[in-house]
Amino acid sequence: MDFEFSEEQLALRDVCRDLFAKQSSPERLRAIWDGGERGTDLWRSLAEMGVLGLTVPEDHGGMGGNLVDLLLVLEEAGYHAVPDPLLETVVVAAPALRWAEEGEWLERIAAGEAVISARLGGSPYVVDADIADAVLIEHEDGLGLVTEFDATLVPTEDRARRLFAIEVTGDVQPVGASARRAWERGALGAAALLNGIGRRLLDLSVEYAQARQQFDRPIGSFQAVSHKLATLFIQNTAAHSATRYAAYAEARDTADRPVAISTAKAYASDAAALANTEALQIHAGIGFTWEHDLHFWLKRGRALEQAYGSPRDHRRRLAEHVLALAGDEPPAPTEEQADA
């Protein structure tokens, strides 16, 4: 019985952490927020490190890995509010594109030469459509890939998460993979990003609570503040545990995979939402300013809580599994009808 990450998985997390700290620093994020170009350095580095090809089979130039291998990288990406479409390209699209007949997409993804975005689960918006070489969409009973489309920028709260409305102008290439599974992978990946965001909000708040003095003492010494932070730690830790299990379930295709993913996304979203609320409350006035970096994570968090299914959407999906716990047991015949 081993629920631990391997040395390799931890090493990959560490190099990605260093990379994101440099190339997705708060200064660079602020430059993007101010209208600067995102640049392609980070994407190229991720290709060189094998991250973009992590979910691509080895005979297509990838690493042949799975979501467990990628999980800690995604948490770091959330922690550093990485603006690039790692989730769409590597988590949602690449595993589905094994079933694409044309285009050598897998090779191009692994080499960092193709950005793939996605429009799934009823959302009308597409992340980074302007730089996407193709967009994965729901098509007939499965998925389809489009390469010709017009993209219109939609203003967003998070200026480093660029959304577009697209109009498809060319043919749709059918992809014989499940749209539901692609969306579920998106939910799993979003949960991992949210765990990273929640941890960043917690770390920023702990740092602030240690430094900020009122009544001649750090505000972190007040239990009204420290207990909020402890609660965020508890929930962030538990959210990671649930997401780790969901990644395992996805990698092994266990029978409870959909339940595990919905559990992780619902809980990770709720945990990140509480971190969002409390981080701003603890930072108070300074956190409410445009100049402070806090809102990079506040806004990314609010976006991802809703992406690939809100907590409510996932709980709705789980309801049938909850009822199944008690079998098909009918109501007791003696029960009064007054409630009906």
Contacting positions for other proteins (CB under 8 A)? 1-6, 68, 206, 209-210, 217-218, 220-223, 226-227, 229-231, 233-234, 237-239, 241-242, 244-245, 248, 251, 259-260, 262-263, 266-267, 312, 314-316, 318-319, 321-323, 325-326, 329-332, 335, 339-340
Closest-CA residue to 110 (of 64, 156, 72, 166): 64
Two tokens at 286? 């300074």
Phi and psi for 176 in degrees, rounded to 5?
-80, 55
Question: Taking the CB of residue 49, how many other CB atoms lie within 10 A of it?
Answer: 17
| Residue closer to other proteins, measured from CB, 117 or 243 | 243
| Residue closer to other proteins, measured from CB, 146 or 201 | 201
Two tokens at 251? 């990698």
| Residue closer to other proteins, measured from CB, 12 or 260 | 260
Residue 279 CB, nearest approach to other proteins (Å):
14
| Residue closer to other proteins, measured from CB, 220 or 301 | 220
> Side-chain half-sphere of 295: how many Cα atoms within 13 Å?
14
Beta strand 163-168 with 126-127 is antiparallel
Let me know the angle formed at the C-alpha of 129 by 127 and 135, rounded to the nearest 5 degrees. 90
Question: Do residues 219 and 225 touch, judged by C-beta distance below 8 A?
Answer: yes
Distance from chain centroid for Cα 92: 10
Residue 211 CB, nearest approach to other proteins (Å):
11
| Residue closer to other proteins, measured from CB, 65 or 83 | 65
Residue 296 CB, nearest approach to other proteins (Å):
22
Residue 328 CB, nearest approach to other proteins (Å):
9
Residue 62 CB, nearest approach to other proteins (Å):
20
Residue 95 CB, nearest approach to other proteins (Å):
18
| Residue closer to other proteins, measured from CB, 93 or 279 | 279
Residue 337 CB, nearest approach to other proteins (Å):
8
**Which residues touch 51 (CB under 8 Å, ≥6 apart)?**
12, 16, 70, 73, 86, 90
DSSP state of 339: T
Two tokens at 232? 């965020």
Given the structure tokens 């960092």, which residue do they identify? 112
Residue 188 CB, nearest approach to other proteins (Å):
13
Residue 244 CB, nearest approach to other proteins (Å):
7
Beta strands in 189-339 (DSSP E): 213-214, 217-218
**Which residues touch 117 (CB under 8 Å, ≥6 apart)?**
85, 88, 89, 93, 126, 127, 128, 129, 132, 134, 135, 136
| Residue closer to other proteins, measured from CB, 60 or 265 | 265
| Residue closer to other proteins, measured from CB, 285 or 331 | 331
Two tokens at 261? 């993913």
| Residue closer to other proteins, measured from CB, 164 or 208 | 208
